[in-house]
Structure 1
Amino acid sequence: YGVITPGNMTGNIMSANVTGGIGLHSADLLTTLKTGWLLGAKPRHQLYAQLFGVVAGAAIVVPAFLLIIPEPTAEQMAAGVRTVLGTEEWPAPSCLVWAGVSEAFSNGIGGMHYTTKWAIAIGLLIGVALTVWEKLAPKNVKPYIPSANGVGIAMVIPGSNCIAMFVGSAIAEIMRRRQQENVVVPVASGLIAGESLMGVLIIVLSTIVGLNLKL
């Protein structure tokens, strides 16, 4: 897309997100279809539900985004901040990744700071090395090899999230060793969903009702 529309950051971000989203959600929906089929659900009925989810999601997500995500303050605008996404209050790591890719396409690799180029090269080498190491390492060593995905995610999310993920993983490992692994996924799912819903509720109350609430 950078070749077709060079310098068009908005077009690059939108087209790249659409392409990546299609692949991601296609794989996710296929997994869901298989799970439903194993449980006895008819694929046709699942397809109807998924199509309804597309319409409902489009009708809800866009207004919710416009309602929840605030405009940059005057100080942020003066500092050159065009959106609150990517700030400390709204980290949005996936948005930062796509924005970085789009900027690279728009301005070219030569427009990057030399430290950014070094970071890309080092990250690439570490990712490849960890992946190859995991494939070739003995079975008793593999559990101690750091996850390339985990290291990469830790580079683009706030430290508080990394600490929370570490604490959750440690608790899950303790539960596994106590033969109570079956409760890990339900409890973790509930915590993640509850935190997300409460965050949205607090923002809605702060925006619409005017309550002075802080996340």
Structure 2
Amino acid sequence: FAWIFFIAVLGVTMAIPMKRQMINIEQIRFPDSIATAETLKVLYSEGKKAAGQAKALLYSALFSAANAIAMAAGGERWLGVVQQHIFGNWYQRTIFFKWDLMFVGAGALIGMKTSLSLFIGGTICWALYVPWLESQELLPAGAGYRESVSWTLWGGTACMVVASIVAFLFQWKSIVRSFSSLGAMFSLSKKRELTDVEKIETPMSWFLAGQLISLAALGYLAHASFDVPYWMSCIAVVISFFLALVVCRITGEANITPTGAMGKVTQLIFGGIAPGHVTANLMAANITSGASSSSADLLVDLKVGYLLGANPRKQFIAQFSGIFLGTLVSVLAFRSMVPDANALQSFNAPGARTWAATAEALGMGFSHLHSIKVLSIIAGGILGLILVLIPRYLPRTGKWLPTPIGFGLAWAIQWNDSFLFFAGAVLGWTADRLFKDKSREYKIPSASGIIAGAALTGMAILMFSIYQTAH
């Protein structure tokens, strides 16, 4: 209970300065937030235009739901047969199609540049790099996604991390202004009167309090429960802030929250500073992943509130209150499914196995990481730096380059997802060109409906399959 609770507190309070930078200043899109805000606007609007948008949202949601049901009812099997004839040996390896309209809707909201970057990065990764790894016998012939991604994510993650941190540091003036209230909190001079905007923003003092309390609590828990030295816990919390920054930026730009990939970065760092300490490696990554997820979730909600004119301080209080119930439900649900360690054997949990394998490998030290992975990290970091610097100093040249977030993320997700993002962006771009007025009015409601329909139906199908398994 305590471990999950304080990781959530750490992540939620981390989002306070990020909100001001990413939402207020940089105006990052956050596609899921746009979809949610648009849905709420349509549901509570009146008039002819609102009625037309409501119909567009409803019809697209029904179409997306019908597609999800059709795929679950056997459409995927028939689609697989067709693809096997088209792709031959490539099928079910790295290049295949799986029709998930949620990504298509997200691609229409994200736009062409990021989606095209995803498609280019994904094609280079899965059609060129992975086959090369197989030719070098680093991967078995016909390796699937789960085997391949343990090699590909290193370069892509390095690209995203370096690019996000460098871009963040370029905004140092805004960062200083965001943290200025911390200095005012300790100032002995007369307190100045807050502006109207500052009165509704979450105070930076809440950020400081949340970070210090979580740091102390997690440091104690990690030491008492997992025998992790206090200094390692401090490093894990500091690392988590910068990696949560990367996760939140990726969520805002590409609509995917890569907490697993960022957790691997923490594991890599701890493989260097704490060789031989497998437990510390795993639990430090757990802090990063949990805090990043909480930060990204809150920023998605805050972006919705920003679009609708909500009070961010009240939103923060509501989200913080949810930590108590969320912790209670998640812990009790896990305890009911996994009463003891032996019960874990009935769960495949491929993600957990990947984390454990990485902890065991990197726990032996950074030197045990394969040389190809080390070179991928170096190359990815250099590429991320280039893709940030060139657009900044050579804007005419930079506009033709892919975005580092899109290009790097494609190395951590399946090629199919990158393709669907690109397909959605092409449809949105075509609508903007051929039906400019109609697109301006109906594109966002339609894309929002597709996302909502696919998400809700997917959740219903999952719950139904769980019910069938239980009975």
Q: 1:4: Cα distance to partner?
A: 7.2
**Equivalents in 2 of 1:120, 1:49: separation in Å?**
39
1:110 aligns with 2:379: no
**Equivalents in 2 of 1:143, 1:181: separation in Å?**
24
Deviations 1:149-208 (A, max 9, x none): 001111110111111001011112223334224533333233223222222222221121
1:124 aligns with 2:381: yes
Cα 1:114/1:133, change in 2 over 3 Å: same
1:7 aligns with 2:278: yes
**Equivalents in 1 of 2:387, 2:360: separation in Å?**
28
**Equivalents in 2 of 1:99, 1:185: separation in Å?**
41
Residue of 205, 209, 214 corresponding to 2:464: 205
Q: 1:42: Cα distance to partner?
A: 4.8
Counterpart in the other structure of 2:448: 189
Cα 1:133/1:46, change in 2 over 3 Å: same
Q: 1:34: Cα distance to partner?
A: 4.5
**Equivalents in 2 of 1:85, 1:199: separation in Å?**
20
**Equivalents in 1 of 2:408, 2:383: separation in Å?**
10
Cα 1:54/1:157, change in 2 over 3 Å: same
- 1:173 match: secondary structure: helix
Matched letter for residue 106 of structure 1: G
Contact kept in structure 1, 2:387 and 2:398, CA below 8 Å:
no
Task: Give identity over the alignment, percent.
Answer: 22
**Equivalents in 1 of 2:330, 2:453: separation in Å?**
18
Between stretches 189-198 and 1-10, larger displacement belongs to 1-10
Counterpart in the other structure of 1:49: 318
Counterpart in the other structure of 2:292: 20
Deviations 1:1-54 (A, max 9, x none): 335793223312222224434654565565456455xx3x45564345324443
- 2:278 match: secondary structure: coil
Counterpart in the other structure of 1:154: 410
**Equivalents in 2 of 1:11, 1:86: separation in Å?**
13
Number of aligned positions between the proteins: 185
Deviations 1:89-140 (A, max 9, x none): xxxxxxx7x889867863332111111111111111111111112112335x
Contact kept in structure 1, 2:388 and 2:404, CA below 8 Å:
yes
Contact kept in structure 2, 1:33 and 1:43, CA below 8 Å:
yes
Matched letter for residue 50 of structure 1: Q
**Equivalents in 2 of 1:167, 1:182: separation in Å?**
20
Task: Give ranges in structure 1 of 5+ residues lacking alignment.
Answer: 73-82, 88-95
Contact kept in structure 2, 1:7 and 1:106, CA below 8 Å:
yes
Cα 1:43/1:110, change in 2 over 3 Å: closer
Instruction: Return the TM-score normalized by structure 2.
Output: 0.33
**Equivalents in 2 of 1:27, 1:144: separation in Å?**
29
Instruction: Return the TM-score normalized by structure 1.
Output: 0.66
Cα 1:114/1:15, change in 2 over 3 Å: same
- 1:144 match: secondary structure: coil
Matched letter for residue 54 of structure 1: I
Cα 1:107/1:175, change in 2 over 3 Å: farther
Considering only aligned residues, what root-mean-square deviation do their CA atoms show, in Å? 3.7
Cα 1:194/1:55, change in 2 over 3 Å: farther
Between stretches 12-21 and 111-120, larger displacement belongs to 12-21
Matched letter for residue 318 of structure 2: A
Q: Which has the higher contact order (CA 8 A, sep 6+)?
A: 2
Cα 1:43/1:154, change in 2 over 3 Å: closer
Contact kept in structure 1, 2:428 and 2:443, CA below 8 Å:
yes
What is the 5 A alignment of 1:35-184? Answer: 35=307, 39=309, 41-42=310-311, 45-58=314-327, 63=333, 71-72=347-348, 83-85=349-351, 106-139=363-396, 141-177=397-433, 178-179=435-436, 180-184=439-443
Counterpart in the other structure of 1:76: none
Task: Give ranges in structure 2 of 5+ residues lacking alignment.
Answer: 1-235, 237-269, 338-345
**Equivalents in 1 of 2:408, 2:356: separation in Å?**
16
